[in-house]
Chain A
Amino acid sequence: MTTELPPLPVVDFSRIGPALGSRFPDIALPDQNGRTVELHTARAGRRALVVFHRSAAW
């Protein structure tokens, strides 16, 4: 017997996170070595990819 699963919800991503054309907010968070990284300082005038991930633990 198979159970019907509900469909994946459709998310309007245009409303999620910093908008296109906006400056990414100033954030400061600890990195894997325990050092605080201020994103825009760490970029040092370069482009950056900001990748959001749920967890490295599971």
Chain B
Amino acid sequence: MNVLAGFAEQHDIAYPLLSDEGSVVIGRIGMLNDRVFEQHAAYGVAPREQHMGTPYPGVLLLDEQGVVIGRRFQQSYRERETAAGLLEQGFGGHASTHGIEDRAGSAGVSVRAALDSETFRFFQRLWLTVELTVDPGLHIYGRPIPDGYVPLSVEVAPAENMVVGEPVWPETRPFRVEGLDEQFQVYEGTVALALPVTFTARGMSDQTVRVTVRYQACSAADCLMPAALSLELPVRTADLVS
């Protein structure tokens, strides 16, 4: 109990931290991680007895009646999401605070990139959100796309010990230009997509996530020049809990 009290005080935690001595409840409700040594082996960690009895680091959302209405697990037991990431990517909610953002734009389109935390920790999963707002009457292209057109793309500059996952793409809308045979998939209005970003080494220095967003905005009549915008999101390293 001293451990939990100290942890709560150190991190200013007001919600209940429950202690499951002997992992009795963890076992009873089927959360026991019985593959921890296999997972350790994948990271080159030697097995230790204290690792027995740990739960899978899952998160369950209960409704007002106590019924499980959301479950969030990661294959890597190391990977944890930010609170904002859990809420938005895991359970479809909306977080009231976000980390850092940068903005850019071109004629008819504004772009905002944001990370859901100002800091990162070892194996914490941050979400990079890229949001484009396209003026009425314009659209940008998604995929699939005929040759010669520029689809919306988001590229994160590679950095050592930074892993960027596949983006979660929003739905496109089919679009046809009169007089052309080609069928297009387009985005209009506000388009938001999210990519997971994880830093996988201990003791990393502060980082800058560099994002390039490419697209071409068109109306039903004609197209603007293709755009390639650079956005930068500095993120500070946070010490691990010792």
Q: CB within 8 Å of B: which residues of A?
A: 3, 5-11, 13, 15-25, 27, 29-34, 37, 39-40, 42-43, 45-58
Contacts and interface: CB of A to CB of B under 8 A. Distances in A.
B67 A24 contact: yes
B19 A30 contact: yes
Contacts of A51: 57, 59
B46 interface: no
Given A8-B75, A13-B73, A23-B66, A33 B5 contact: yes
Interface stretch (B28-36, B96-104, B228-236): B28-36
Interface stretch (B48-56, B128-136, B172-180, B218-226): B48-56
A11 B30 CA distance: 13
B63 to A, nearest CB: 6
Interface residues of B, number: 53
Contacts of B55: 52-54
A42 B50 contact: no
A32 B15 CA distance: 9
Interface in B1-50: 1, 3-8, 13, 16-20, 25-26, 28-31, 33, 35, 38-39, 41-44, 50
Nearest to B1: A34
A43 B58 contact: no
A31 B30 contact: no
B106 to A, nearest CB: 40
Contacts of A52: 26, 31, 55-59
Given A9-B39, A11-B35, A16-B31, A30 B18 contact: yes
A31 B39 contact: no
Nearest to A45: B64
A55 B44 CA distance: 20
B59 A20 contact: no
B65 interface: yes
Nearest to A40: B66
Contact of B56 (A8, A16, A18, A47): A16
B107 interface: no
17 contacts: A5-B41, A6-B41, A9-B38, A11-B75, A13-B71, A17-B29, A24-B68, A29-B20, A32-B4, A40-B66, A49-B61, A51-B59, A52-B31, A53-B57, A56-B4, A56-B6, A57-B3
